[in-house]
Amino acid sequence: MSRNRLTLFRLVSVIVVLAGMCPLHAYAQFVYVNDNNFNSGANTATGYKVVPGPALSIIAGSPYATFGTGLGKFFAPLQEVAIAYGTNFKNCLFVSDPLVTSSFPNGDIAAYKINAGTGVLTYVGNFVDPTDTSGANNLGIPLAIDRRVGFPYLFAGFTGESKIAYFKVNPGNCKLTWVSSTPAVGISGSAPPQGMAVTKTGPHVVVVSYGDGSVQTFKIVGASLVPKPLVTSTGFINQSAIPEGVDITANGKYAVFGDNQPLGTEVEVAKILPSGALSTTVDYGGPANASGVNLGPGVNSQNVWISPGFISGKNYLYISNDYSSQVTTARLSGLGIVSAIPSTGCTGVFTNPTTLNPGTWSFPAGLHTVKTTPSGTGLVVGEFGGPSSVALLRIQNTSGCTKEVTGSPFADPNSNFGVFSLDVFPSRPF
């Protein structure tokens, strides 16, 4: 073999190996929304492809029937989740149906296989909590996925019965098998789970927020969830803020909560202790500028999302301002400390906060980074309305400031007053 041919052979071999090690970079980027339609048995999921521009283009075949019923009337956090299970396994999307046509069990989860090349969904089935004898899941069914390799677990908060159902995913076909159900209720004794997230590293726990100002973890032990002590949030005690959305840092050490705070932008951070329990939350922002931090003029902050990586030693923390129709960016240090990004730190067309372009929508809800780069490159934001829509924003990598792209928002003709939740595939790895 000649030297040139040998060099070419080695180069091709390296490329093949790297492609196997980094499959996410070979995929196109897709966005999925839970249309959350409340007509009996008529819920659907709509898919978008991120195309040059950038812009969003609806995937052929949308909307995809869930064969269940949504519930279009609440800021329901994270009612769908996507995951890639690697070579020889399927890529899966799970979508909540808070109501179904049958009386009991009530509420289900629709499962799909994702075609990584086209984004097209293939329906797999609907899965229920067989112990559920409650009524409607009026606060939705929040979902959380365990992203540890070899731990294909999905957790669903059935708010009608105030339980967290534990499912095992078959990575070969995306079907779910119910494992157990664990009571989960806030410190008031009546509030069900609202936001949920799962640690990928550190103590393996499900972090839960409730609608009464309290938060909690459940340690994943075999086929069971073991509850840890309830914690009343500092923001609730001092500023009447209610933690709802939740995200967890990549190292599994800190849980970040987005607060329902009608008087400003407020977030809270709790350390996840070695035991798996939560520490007392540290409060940032709000009308009292807790911790000496003013997070800007945005109003309400129920949904939060942590950037995929560090920029200058810190993550960006993206926050949707549901009442002022804005997106705010803050910084999150490796020690869980939140700091503001002043508008003076933005340059060019980028701003912080960014006021979203008007449309037929009423308020923004869930948000998610578009790519797995450290800043996430872009943001998508679900917008509730008639019809609902999805906003697409660019992120200024050096500052975290944002700018909505030309042509945004992109309408979801399949959802009338329903979109609260969305997810992106390939997703952030934690």
Cβ atoms within 10 A of the Cβ of 150, count?
Answer: 6
Between CA 313 and CA 322, with CA 318 as vertex, the angle to 5 degrees is 165
Please tell me the predicted confidence (pLDDT) of residue 158. Answer: 94
Rounded Cα distance between 148 and 298, Å, is 35
Mean per-residue pLDDT, 133-154: 92
Out of 9-23, 247-261, 282-296, 401-415, least confident range: 9-23
* Phi, psi angles (nearest 5°) of residue 324: -105, 5
Between CA 77 and CA 86, with CA 83 as vertex, the angle to 5 degrees is 170
16 pLDDT higher than 50: no
CATH no., domain 23-183 = 2.130.10.10
| Residue % of the chain over a pLDDT of 70 | 91
Rounded Cα distance between 387 and 166, Å, is 33
Rounded Cα distance between 72 and 415, Å, is 9
7 pLDDT higher than 60: no
324 pLDDT higher than 50: yes
Rounded Cα distance between 201 and 216, Å, is 18
Under 8 Å between Cβ of 35 and 79: no
Strand segments (E) across 184-335: 193-198, 205-210, 214-221, 224-227, 231-232, 242-248, 254-260, 266-271, 282-285, 303-306, 314-321, 326-333
116 pLDDT higher than 80: yes
Under 8 Å between Cβ of 3 and 386: no
177-219: pLDDT as tens digits: 999 999 999 999 999 999 999 999 989 999 999 999 999 999 9
**Helices and strands counted in the chain (H then E):** 2, 32
8 pLDDT higher than 80: no
93 pLDDT higher than 70: yes
| Single pTM value for the model | 0.93
Helix, coil or strand: residue 320: strand
Which two three-digit tokens encode residue 114?
Answer: 């994702």
Mean per-residue pLDDT, 270-292: 98
Please tell me the predicted confidence (pLDDT) of residue 76. Answer: 52
Please tell me the predicted confidence (pLDDT) of residue 416. Answer: 87
Helix-strand-coil split of the chain, %, nearest 5: 5, 45, 50
15 pLDDT higher than 50: no
Please tell me the predicted confidence (pLDDT) of residue 73. Answer: 64
Identify which of 292, 369, 302 has the alpha carbon closest to the alpha carbon of residue 338.
Answer: 292
Mean per-residue pLDDT, 245-250: 97
Q: What is the mean pLDDT of the chain?
A: 91
Under 8 Å between Cβ of 133 and 181: no
- pLDDT class for 87, splitting at 50, 70, 90? confident
Mean per-residue pLDDT, 310-334: 97
Residues across the chain: 430
Out of 132-141, 173-182, 259-268, 309-318, least confident range: 132-141
Cβ atoms within 10 A of the Cβ of 348, count?
Answer: 9
Out of 23-27, 35-39, 64-68, 401-405, least confident range: 23-27
Q: Which long-range contacts (CB under 8 A, 24 or more apart) does 207-210 make?
A: 207/246, 207/248, 207/255, 207/272, 207/278, 208/157, 208/164, 208/184, 208/246, 209/243, 209/244, 209/245, 209/246, 209/257, 210/185, 210/186, 210/243
Residue with tokens 């991120």: 50
Q: Which residues of 30-68 are buried (b: 16+ CB within 10 A; e: fewer)?
A: bbbbbbbbbeeebbbbbbbbbeeebebebbeebbbebbb
Please tell me the predicted confidence (pLDDT) of residue 14. Answer: 33
Please tell me the predicted confidence (pLDDT) of residue 88. Answer: 83
Please tell me the predicted confidence (pLDDT) of residue 306. Answer: 98
Out of 64-73, 137-146, 345-354, 367-376, least confident range: 64-73
Under 8 Å between Cβ of 373 and 400: no
* Helices (H), ranges, 137-224: none
Q: In the chain, what are the domain boundaries?
A: 23-183
10 pLDDT higher than 60: no
Strands 153-158 and 402-404: unpaired
351 pLDDT higher than 70: yes
